[in-house]
Structure 1
Amino acid sequence: MHVFEGTVEEASVRLADPGFVAQCAKRYTATHDRAPGEAELRSWSESWPALVRVLVAAGLHDLHLLLEYELPGSSQRIDALLLGRRAGRLVAVVIELKQWTFAAPHPVGAGMLMVGDREVLHPGRQVGGYVAYLNDWVPAELDLEVRGLAFLHNASAELTGHLNALAVGGPSAAFPLLGADDLPQDGEASLLAGRLRCADVEPADRQAVSDFLLAQHRPSASLLARVATTIEGHDGFRLIGDQDKARQTIHRAIEATERGTPGHIVAVTGGPGTGKTAIAARVLGDLCLREDANPRLLSPSGTLTQQLTRAVGDTAKGLISTLTTTLPRGLSKDSSIVLLDEAHRARTDPLLRNSEFPDLFTRLIRDCAALVLFLDERQIVRPSEGTTLDELRRLARARGYTFAHIDLTTQFRCGGSRTYLDWIDALLSEDGQAPVWQGTDYDLAIAGNPAELEDWVTTHHHAGRSARITAGFCWPWDSPPTPPLMPEVSIPWTDNTGDHLWQRPWNSGAGGILAGTDTPGRAFWATDPGGHQQIGCVYTAQGMEYDYSAVILGEDITWTPTGWQARPEKSRDQSLRGVSPQQYLRYALNTYRILATRGTQGTRLYSTDSATQNQLRRLASGTRP
């Protein structure tokens, strides 16, 4: 997908039309079902003319230009892509556009910069990622040569010099950063073309451009081999027992597609810690070793996607990606196996859809040979999300597909304690009738106050163990995404020493690895240094695990002798606005179950509601303090 395709000369003419950017925005909206943001529109209006003026000055009128070119199999977009030929070979020049006038090195993140309060990739690193991506995904028969650069059209020579110096000695050094002083519009055309890495590039014929645009993009053999090798050697993706049996069941569907019979749905169900994600990753590795493979591992959870991509490596982007409502490109009905982890988070809109089955799933199975879904129905936390085993079985029957179900019963989280998981399931059922805790194989207790909760987490952190605090979404969340974060989780309490107030910030909302010093980005709150100092929520904890888990139950659910009572008015989660108390109760109980099953070694619970806190103490009265 792209919002403009034509020669540089044609782009120059179109940019003279005041309505050109609006037309491009309309095309973008039609493709993505959402309009581009104001900042993006402003960037297009300012950066496109600056680039095209330089390209014209360089005498590159007849080269082909794509604006906002979406990378195959990905939602990432290249600002501008030039196409031409050199010695009969197709050449693509990636151009990243920046309006920056200021950027500073990131205090702790290698390859990162701070632009104002935003954490961003170094432009050379960004271009390098795009170049590698095209090399990995464009069919080898096109014999594409890929080059790249960044054009910071508002930047001073001092800034571009500083940023180029930061890249010296690293992979980003291969991709120059150019400013206005490097590309003066009155400069000699040959000099400008050379700096734009186009001195030896001639116009490509229309057929070559068409071949590039119509090519079926798929992962290269070298990419598949790298991903397979990484997964094979990763300890976190080793399977045992039921997990390996599930893998073999999935392989039977894969082998059927290889015999020329596509049309299979496999559902893998299991509670927290049963290894659903490990199976998905391992099967992806298996698929990467197969001839002519074209697999995908998708998840609706951006947190999980980013964690998996980091574990496997950046080269896996495209093979591993976040599923929203837009399907990945380049799937093959005859050969693509799609693995959908955390399927209970998929945006299926069960309360709004007009058809019997989720449109997202019907489109997915239409475009692939087999669909493997990993889910836990008790982890559905929003009315717009989720599916059920029964729905998937009916979908397969309606489409004439084979259907297989594997239920994982052995779990490896919470110290492997079946006793604890059964207890937490009973506690967080609607009637709340859990037995008194008698377990000896898991560290469970009730904290007397939030300060005690934090002391427990800090003690484990100082001992070199991972520990986190999470809470229900019962406090405001208006903090900016980068530090200083506002201490919005605020809990007063009284004991025999007087009145107290405990305040801590939510996790950062920043999208990168680091939001600031000792503050990880939201996807890495559960795993990276500093996360223990912020309070996580279900959206950053789901799919993750850590050694010790502290959970704050807010006043959105309160215990009564007849069961849990929902108080939706106490929730700050906008996605749950307007649901009935009974509907809300289901989502809230699922939320707290997720939060209470993240700790592999121990859990501490605390409720801000006095009646609930008293009941928790009664049930856990036999635990150690």
Structure 2
Amino acid sequence: MYYGDPTPEQLSAWRSSLDAFLSAIHRVGEPYPVLAEYPIFDLERADFLVVGRRRAMVVECKGWSNPKRVNDYSVEVDGGLSADPCYQLKNYVNKLRYFHSAASKLEFDGVVYTYRTHAYHDDCRVVSDSEELAACLGGLGEPGGDEEVRELLEGRMVINDSLVKLVEKHKNQLIRGAAKILLDEGYGLSSEQLEVVERVLGSLAKREKKTYLVRGVSGSGKTLVALTLLLEAVSRGYKALLGYKNNRLLNTLRTALRTSVKGVDPSALIVFYSTGPQAGFRGLGEQNFPADKYGEIDLAIYDEAQRMTEDVIELSSRRANVTVYFYDDQQLLVGNEAGTRTNFLKYLEHPQEITLSAPFRAPKSYVDSLRSLLEGGSFTPGDYDFEVFDDILSMLDALRGKANSGAKVALICAFTESDGDRKNPKSPKNLRIGYPLQSGFDLYKGLNLEVRWLMDEKNQYPKYWMGALDPLEYCASVYGAQGLEADYVGVVWGRDLILREEGWTVNPEVITDTVGGKHSLKTIAKQDTQKAVELLKNRYYVMLSRGIRGTYVFFEDPETLHQIRRRQLQPKP
């Protein structure tokens, strides 16, 4: 099930593993179907998946001669580090158990087959000769048939819990060892993600002065890795801080993590890296950061670092011995945000670059196709549950149905039509879907709808993303959605980014976003149409990639809907 051009090293490893595996499967005496290089999300592939009628077994084959265990998730092989086979196996098996649609019919198990050594032992099942592996496979019972194979080939892997919900559930245990807790819940790290953790923790252990620059596409697990790094570093006795600019995401994570374990409250380790003049430039990457309060910092982690200005990039690099930036330069939202690769390389001293290339939240094919749509290309959502609605009531009814069936849903709206008013929750400026709107837009007249902006960053937003508020009585802006997720997300595509025969353009009159002052979208839209279009594409990229299982869209501009359907949107099969 491998798609692409394998390297000579991959081909050699496959031949070796296949020969070793076949010598065992031939001993079983039962015609078990076998799926090779079985994909786990779009992140990794299990070597073999042997299919029984009621059970399926992952077989991870390792041809290493003398692996040496380094820690819970790494081994040293031939002078380099690789993912620990048992960690890898548990990661695959737990993802299949928790997230695969076939888990309702098949019980998943696994075994590591070290066919060239007897020296590797761990707390998972490990066998080292073909007879032992044959005995394990024979325990699957009756071989699977076409139905079971079809379930595995045509089924989907879908995350059941959001990261915020998982963190809240296990906050008392995470401070003692985040990687293992997350692994047990199906949130084990991929090889790409483990590389980040390994290299950063290695630099801390060696007391190196290092900077890491980690670029990840939307949904690639940047926040998961950032949180894991923070908690793993603290559990090892290092002083670490995790910085954000987004107060909505910061407060949501703080709320989810708030606890006290051995006198440590991990939520207090999440800080602003940029506050601006309203808080006296006291962020971790600003000139008035209270360094005396924290003392020497071993590790500074900056998530959503694309939102940094150039000044913040430069200052943030001086705060700790080891520094890590997580960024996606396709998620710039405001005119003065400068967190691009070019600017990081301009200000950071010899950063080590790492890429997280595979999305974890939604299928890679959907994320890639979404970017294609925004750039004027074709759009094929594939198996991902993407649907466009002709009217707002139908979309809200569909989301309500998902919520009633136990799914977590959220509503995200374009920052248009109404300003929002923090001081007065009942202000007409807080009405986003309903009538009358501040802008005079009367699309929702007579529908008896009242959906208001979320305005309280410290209380409303954490409650909303943690499921404590009715998700369809409120809506978030792009600022309240970046870094967060839900099972199903409804997106109200506003009249700001509109599509016409000649292509994308911007309608500045409906934009109400003044975040950033002279650098705000509202200001830029009146001065530089092309830059405003690019920022709006980034915003819709963020909003349309928050859904784990599906995304539903309603267009407030009928002509944009018509153009997308006529030119690009391919119907779901």
**Which residue in the other structure is 1:471 paired with?**
413
**Which residue in the other structure is 2:250 paired with?**
305
Q: How does 1:247-258 map to 2 (within 5 A)?
A: 247-256=197-206, 258=207
Shift of 1:534: 1.0
**Which residue in the other structure is 2:352 paired with?**
404
Query: Is 1:616 matched up with 2:564?
Result: yes
Q: Contact 1:433 / 1:563 at 8 angstroms: preserved in 2?
A: no
**Which residue in the other structure is 1:419 paired with?**
365
Q: Which has the higher contact order (CA 8 A, sep 6+)?
A: 2
- 2:227 equivalent among 264, 278, 281: 281
Q: Residue 300 of structure 2 aligns to a residue in which SS?
A: strand
Q: Which amino acid aligns with 1:463?
A: S
Q: Contact 2:230 / 2:242 at 8 angstroms: preserved in 1?
A: yes
Q: Residue 279 of structure 1 aligns to a residue in which SS?
A: helix
Query: Is 1:389 matched up with 2:341?
Result: yes
- 1:571 equivalent among 502, 508, 511: 511
CA distance in 2, matches of 1:456, 1:299: 33
Q: Do the aligned partners of residues 504 and 229 (structure 1) sit closer, same or farther apart at CA in structure 2, a change above 3 Å counting?
A: same
Q: Return the TM-score normalized by structure 1.
A: 0.54
For each residue in 1:81-101, what CA deviation from the matched residue of structure 2 results, as whole angstroms up to 9, or x when unmatched? Answer: xxxxxxxxxxxxxxxxxxxxx
For each residue in 1:392-430, what CA deviation from the matched residue of structure 2 results, as whole angstroms up to 9, or x when unmatched? Answer: 12222xxxx33111111111112xx2221111101112x
Q: Which amino acid aligns with 1:247?
A: V
Q: How does 1:566-605 map to 2 (within 5 A)?
A: 566-574=506-514, 575-579=520-524, 580-605=528-553
Q: Do the aligned partners of residues 440 and 237 (structure 1) sit closer, same or farther apart at CA in structure 2, a change above 3 Å counting?
A: closer
Q: Residue 531 of structure 1 aligns to a residue in which SS?
A: coil
**Which residue in the other structure is 1:552 paired with?**
492
Shift of 1:224: 12
Q: How does 1:105-124 map to 2 (within 5 A)?
A: none
Q: Residue 336 of structure 1 aligns to a residue in which SS?
A: strand
Query: Is 1:509 matched up with 2:459?
Result: no
**Which residue in the other structure is 2:299 paired with?**
337
**Which residue in the other structure is 1:538 paired with?**
478
Q: Which amino acid aligns with 1:569?
A: E
Q: Contact 2:252 / 2:461 at 8 angstroms: preserved in 1?
A: no
For each residue in 1:264-294, what CA deviation from the matched residue of structure 2 results, as whole angstroms up to 9, or x when unmatched? Answer: 2211111111000110111112211334x21
Shift of 1:381: 0.4
- Report how many aligned residue pairs link the two structures: 366
For each residue in 1:465-502, what CA deviation from the matched residue of structure 2 results, as whole angstroms up to 9, or x when unmatched? Answer: 011221111111344567546433346459xxxx8546
Q: Do the aligned partners of residues 477 and 335 (structure 1) sit closer, same or farther apart at CA in structure 2, a change above 3 Å counting?
A: closer
Q: Which amino acid aligns with 1:308?
A: L
Q: Do the aligned partners of residues 289 and 595 (structure 1) sit closer, same or farther apart at CA in structure 2, a change above 3 Å counting?
A: same
Shift of 1:592: 0.8
Q: Residue 228 of structure 2 aligns to a residue in which SS?
A: helix
Q: Which amino acid aligns with 1:407?
A: T
Q: Which amino acid aligns with 1:527?
A: M
Q: Contact 2:454 / 2:475 at 8 angstroms: preserved in 1?
A: no
Q: How does 1:202-213 map to 2 (within 5 A)?
A: none
Q: How does 1:190-269 map to 2 (within 5 A)?
A: 227-229=175-177, 233-234=181-182, 235=185, 238-256=188-206, 258=207, 261-262=208-209, 264-269=210-215
CA distance in 1, matches of 2:485, 2:356: 18
Q: Contact 1:488 / 1:503 at 8 angstroms: preserved in 2?
A: no
Q: Residue 468 of structure 1 aligns to a residue in which SS?
A: strand
Q: Residue 573 of structure 1 aligns to a residue in which SS?
A: coil
Shift of 1:441: 1.8
For each residue in 1:417-467, what CA deviation from the matched residue of structure 2 results, as whole angstroms up to 9, or x when unmatched? Answer: 2221111101112xx2224x3x43211121011111111111111111011
**Which residue in the other structure is 2:137 paired with?**
none
Q: Contact 2:501 / 2:563 at 8 angstroms: preserved in 1?
A: no
Greater shift, 331-340 or 545-554, is seen at 331-340
**Which residue in the other structure is 2:394 paired with?**
452
Q: Report the RMSD for the aligned CA atoms in angstroms.
A: 2.8
Q: How does 1:476-495 map to 2 (within 5 A)?
A: 476-479=418-421, 484=426, 486=428, 487-490=431-434, 492-493=442-443
Query: Is 1:433 matched up with 2:377?
Result: yes
Structure 1 runs not aligned, ≥5 long:
1-222, 349-357, 514-520
Identity among equivalent pairs (%): 22
Q: Residue 543 of structure 1 aligns to a residue in which SS?
A: coil
For each residue in 1:293-335, what CA deviation from the matched residue of structure 2 results, as whole angstroms up to 9, or x when unmatched? Answer: 2111111112222222233324124311122232353478975
Q: Contact 1:341 / 1:374 at 8 angstroms: preserved in 2?
A: yes
Q: Residue 212 of structure 2 aligns to a residue in which SS?
A: strand
CA distance in 1, matches of 2:180, 2:558: 50
Q: Contact 1:343 / 1:373 at 8 angstroms: preserved in 2?
A: yes
CA distance in 1, matches of 2:186, 2:312: 30
- 2:465 equivalent among 522, 526, 537: 526
Q: Return the TM-score normalized by structure 2.
A: 0.59
Q: Contact 1:488 / 1:505 at 8 angstroms: preserved in 2?
A: yes
**Which residue in the other structure is 1:16 paired with?**
none
